[in-house]
Structure 1
Amino acid sequence: MNTTLKFILYKLTLLLVISPYGLKYTYCGQPEIFSETMIVATQGAELKTGSGVLRQLNPGEVLVATQRNQEWLWIPLQGGWIKAAELKSAEDLISVLDQFIETEPTAERYHLRGIAQQVLKNYPAALSDFAASLELKPENAPIYVNRGNIRRLQREYDLALADLNHAIQLSTKDANAYYIRGLIRLEQKQLDSAVDDLTKAIQQEPHMVAALNARGITHRELNQFDQALQDFNQAIKANNFVSEVFSNRAAIWEQQSEFESAIKDYQRALELNPASAVAHNDIAWLYATCSDTKFQNPVLAVKHARKACELPRFDDWNLLDTLATAYQADQHLDKASHTLTQAIEKAPAEQKKVLKKKLDKIVNK
């Protein structure tokens, strides 16, 4: 299956879908983590690059760290470094907040614990904490945004939209509310409405990479490739350290047969985030299947496809399909057949038939 133009949203959800603003909770610590989802737990934490401070972070913001350099952690989706002492794992934060809430429950503490539960995908617990926070502070727009996002993730779109609409009534300049509502419109294939909401988010925060990236995806879905490129270019201009944007722009280049530009962007995406299964998978597909033989490289296709599969421990049927295709391009038909059989076992019902036809062609060669 060609995954080249598969623009994913799950990475985007880690950028700005959780609204921490208004929290005053402070707790310092020294978590030992690597390649892990973490939560900002101190007031005044800063995201930095070699040229200075990118921005100040708020308690409750969710980040994914993938590399460590002494006391600093690299946050690829934000394109900067943060001190490890400024972050806590969701589990550690919940443990601390359980004690604090028992002695002195506040809206901010319930809100922060709800964010931690949301990170762990303990959605009922998160919803309970957000409800408790709203009882103490009913007109808190960020909590409605967070609750709306959980309901989006659970495909409860009507409830999600009600929360987001209320958040916007409370705060017409809440970029996150427009952003998440835009994601819902995108998921519902209401593409023009998605562009409208994402544009409103960008108007509030012109450098909001997540919204620019999502609008680029939406324009791509509308077959408006020039507009998609403009969005990805604008996102890169705002922050040229975000791996996912380079992956998405590479896919546009690839569709337009600009293969050299596509490869450069995929390589840049992997420089920024070597743990990106998506970038490894997509460059592997290009090397294995490129219509211009000058850019085919079966050996590199296998290398990148194997790395993509290793990251989720060979548990993703789509990545396994790419690895099988790479093996086939490299003339390792036995390995291709074995890997494709694994993909079929893990694939959803609607994909099994397609993969079985592909396997039959390999076996009957």
Structure 2
Amino acid sequence: MGSARMNRPPDSYFERGLALLEAGDYDGAVAQFDSAIKLGLGDLAAVHVWRGEALMLLGQYEAAEQSIHNALREQPYLAQAYLARGKLLQRQNQRDKAIADLSASLQIEPNYAEACYARAQCYEDLRRFSEAEADLTRALELNPDLLPAWEARGRLRARRFELDGAVSDLSHYLRSGGGRLHDNHSETQGYLLILRVWRLLWRVVRLGRRG
């Protein structure tokens, strides 16, 4: 057992932890990250951040916050750590604090699409719709492949009765495979159909008024 560990590449615990995290085995991911931390292997700040993500998904918020704090102690200007803590605070309905952390992440790394997307969700929760849409648009400028941002902006635009934009965004989301990837294809397809009907009715009403 000892020799097998010695023969492992330095980042193997971290990489295995990431694979388990992606597969939904959050306990297993935490165990791998703990091994990396115990042995002092790899980028420890990144390990602490991803460990915090796994703990957050397990609902262990205090432990997650401590892990992210440890990451910031290793690297005080780590944009990914502020993003992780912002997402954690959002889950705890502390949206103003979440926005502060996500803004800090963007100050460190202005082109961080994921931080723009996460902050947009907080803004929308606070009904700050213009700021939410601006962040989603910026996220998509930075990373057009960030499919959840297309869906989020489409639904936000529908909420603001910007039907053309909503239909365009949600159509792109479905065409790009977002619905199948995130297991909401049928629901989004049904919602898009409703939006198209609303848009048609609104056009008929407008034509009637002109007449």
Number of the residue aligned with 1:114: 17
Instruction: State the Cα distance separating 1:103 from its structure 2 match.
Output: 5.2
Q: 1:230 to 1:105 in 2, by over 3 A?
A: same
Q: 2:191 aligns with which of 285, 290, 293?
A: 285
Q: In the TM superposition, what whole-angstrom CA distance separates every residue of 1:73-123 from its partner, at most 9, and x where no partner exists?
A: xxxxxxxxxxxxxxxxxxxxxxxxx9x944514542222222222222333
Contact 1:247–1:279 (CA<8 Å) still a contact in 2? no
Instruction: State the Cα distance separating 1:196 from its structure 2 match.
Output: 0.7
Number of the residue aligned with 1:158: 62
1:124 paired with 2:27, answer yes
State the alpha-carbon separation in 2 of the partners of residues 286 and 269 from structure 1. Answer: 11
Number of the residue aligned with 1:238: 142
Equivalent runs, 1:335-354 vs 2, <5 Å: none
Higher strand residue share: 1
State the alpha-carbon separation in 1 of the partners of residues 70 and 60 from structure 2. Answer: 16
1:264 paired with 2:172, answer no
Contact 2:26–2:57 (CA<8 Å) still a contact in 1? no
Instruction: State the Cα distance separating 1:272 from its structure 2 match.
Output: 2.3
Q: 1:242 to 1:295 in 2, by over 3 A?
A: farther
Q: Which amino acid aligns with 1:241?
A: D
1:224 paired with 2:135, answer no
Number of the residue aligned with 2:51: 147
Higher helix residue share: 2
TM-score by length of 2: 0.83
Contact 2:79–2:108 (CA<8 Å) still a contact in 1? yes
Number of the residue aligned with 1:170: 74
Instruction: State the Cα distance separating 1:227 from its structure 2 match.
Output: 0.3
Contact 2:17–2:29 (CA<8 Å) still a contact in 1? yes
- Most deviating of 158-167 and 282-291: 282-291
Contact 2:37–2:47 (CA<8 Å) still a contact in 1? yes
Long gaps (5+) in structure 2: 203-211
Instruction: State the Cα distance separating 1:207 from its structure 2 match.
Output: 1.9
Q: 1:219 to 1:238 in 2, by over 3 A?
A: same
1:204 paired with 2:108, answer yes
Number of the residue aligned with 2:209: none
Q: In the TM superposition, what whole-angstrom CA distance separates every residue of 1:270-306 from its partner, at most 9, and x where no partner exists?
A: 222252443652342242377836169xxxxxxxxxx
Q: 2:37 aligns with which of 129, 134, 156?
A: 134
Q: Which amino acid aligns with 2:66?
A: A
Contact 2:154–2:169 (CA<8 Å) still a contact in 1? yes
CA RMSD of aligned residues (A): 2.5
State the alpha-carbon separation in 2 of the partners of residues 186 and 101 from structure 1. Answer: 41
Q: Which amino acid aligns with 1:151?
A: L
Instruction: State the Cα distance separating 1:252 from its structure 2 match.
Output: 1.4
Q: Which amino acid aligns with 2:54?
A: I
Number of the residue aligned with 1:247: 151
TM-score by length of 1: 0.50
Instruction: State the Cα distance separating 1:253 from its structure 2 match.
Output: 1.0
Query: In percent, how many aligned pairs have the same letter?
Result: 23
Q: 1:270 to 1:118 in 2, by over 3 A?
A: same
Contact 2:174–2:189 (CA<8 Å) still a contact in 1? no
Q: 1:289 to 1:232 in 2, by over 3 A?
A: closer
> SS of the counterpart of 1:207?
coil
Contact 1:242–1:272 (CA<8 Å) still a contact in 2? no
State the alpha-carbon separation in 2 of the partners of residues 161 and 197 from structure 1. Answer: 13
State the alpha-carbon separation in 2 of the partners of residues 101 and 224 from structure 1. Answer: 54
